[in-house]
Amino acid sequence: MAEKPQKEKLIAENRRARHDYELVERFEAGLVLTGTEVKSLRDGRATLGQSFADVRDGEAWLVGAEIATYAQGNSANHDPTRMRKLLLHRKEIDRMYGQVRENGLTVVPLRLYFKDGRVKIELALARGKNVRDKRQTIVDRDAKRQMERAFKTRR
């Protein structure tokens, strides 16, 4: 039986992470959410700007991500900035924890999306860039654009 192609619907993206960090390794994780959080995500109301992942007591947590309260929710609505548990394999959690402790890396979320009806988050082990690195990245990107433009006009 052939597998169906997996459909992804982007909810939120942390574009700033690619600018501020050098991404070393990526992970995909599930999230433990309440019903009103999922409904709010279906409306696309989430921000990952100031968020990061943390490992505490052998469990991975998403800290600082904001999922807006659901407009039609009742008194049992969720707290927008609560910590949310990440669903990862034990080996992934241990690897992430070791890299953060020993190499001084950070775990930053890159994208929040629906994959086959489930909410997933793409995380990356990242190393912070200093100002010089950021400027060099911009110079390299501009040079690449110029070369692409030159090749395009020659054809």
Checking if the pLDDT of 3 tops 70, the result is no
Mean pLDDT of the chain, nearest integer: 87
Size of the chain, expressed as the number of residues it contains: 155
**Distance, CA of 113 to CA of 130 (rounded, Å):** 29
Give the pLDDT of residue 20. 84
Confidence of residue 108 (pLDDT cuts 50, 70, 90): very high
**Residue 137 pLDDT > 90:** no
Q: Which amino acid is at 7?
A: K
76, pLDDT greater than 80: no
pTM for the model: 0.78
Distance of CA 68 to the CA centre of its chain: 17
Cα gap 101→65, rounded to integer Å: 22
Which range, of 14-28, 69-83, 110-124, averages the lowest pLDDT? 69-83
Mean pLDDT to the nearest integer, 103-128: 91
- 137, burial (CB in 10 Å: exposed 0-12, middle 13-18, buried 19+): middle
Please list, in sequence order, all residues whose beta carbon lies within 8 angstroms of the beta carbon of residue 114, skipping any fewer than 6 positions away. Answer: 7, 8, 9, 11, 41, 42, 120
- Whose tokens are 């469990």? That residue is 59
Is pLDDT at 1 greater than 70 in this prediction? Answer: no
Name the CATH code of domain 8-129 (choices 2.40.280.10, 2.30.30.60, 3.40.50.10580, 2.102.10.10).
2.40.280.10
* Domain boundaries along the sequence of the chain: 8-129
Instruction: Look at residue 29 in the predicted model and tell me its pLDDT.
Output: 94
How large is the average pLDDT for residues 2-14? 80
Residue type, 136: Q
* pLDDT band (50, 70, 90) for residue 78: confident
Q: What is the pLDDT of residue 109?
A: 94
Strand 106-115 to strand 118-128: parallel, antiparallel, or no bridges (unpaired)? antiparallel
Closest to 45 measured CA to CA, from 67, 28, 65: 67
pLDDT in the model for residue 16 = 87
Q: Which of 94, 110, 112 is nearest to 102 (CA)?
A: 94
Report the alpha-carbon distance of residue 16 to residue 142 in Å, rounded. 18
